Amino acid sequence: MKIPDIKSLTSRVETQRVAILSKIKRLKREDPFATDDRAIIVEPGTDASALFSHEKTIVLENQLKRDLTEIEVALTKIKKGTYGLCERCHEAIDVARLEVKPAAIYCMKCENELEKKKR
């Protein structure tokens, strides 16, 4: 069985983390309605296209935050020495899968099952 190269996978996870953080920052800068508490006061006559871009930004930002959470879990697992093991069934995650997605915290089987549940 192939053994995951934890060192190179770790640096890839860290690179992804930095990239996502800078993307979130950029999104916030571009968001016309960005506020700290995320409360939007829509006043009459608010530019519809600006509002639309705000909503798109929120969706994107939530997506990025989900990715970031997963990356942070993966980094914690690296520290704990449980990296490469599925969070759900505790089986080893396929090395090929880790190479495609170094921040994967579930094995393929569990991820598919979790995806099904979401729907």
User: Which residues make up the interface to Zn ion (CB under 5 A)?
Assistant: 86, 88-89, 107, 110
Nearer to Zn ion, 20 or 102 (CB): 102
User: What is the smallest separation between the CB atom of 68 and Zn ion, expressed in angstroms?
Assistant: 22
**What gap in Å lies between CA 62 and CA 45, rounded to an integer?**
27
**What gap in Å lies between CA 117 and CA 72, rounded to an integer?**
23
**Residue 92 bridge partners (DSSP):** 85
Nearer to Zn ion, 64 or 92 (CB): 92
User: What is the smallest separation between the CB atom of 111 and Zn ion, expressed in angstroms?
Assistant: 8
User: What is the smallest separation between the CB atom of 59 and Zn ion, expressed in angstroms?
Assistant: 28
Which residue is associated with the tokens 């990715």?
A: 67
Is residue 73 within 8 Å of 64, Cβ to Cβ? no
**What gap in Å lies between CA 116 and CA 119, rounded to an integer?**
6
Nearer to Zn ion, 104 or 107 (CB): 107
Nearer to Zn ion, 27 or 110 (CB): 110
User: What is the smallest separation between the CB atom of 87 and Zn ion, expressed in angstroms?
Assistant: 7
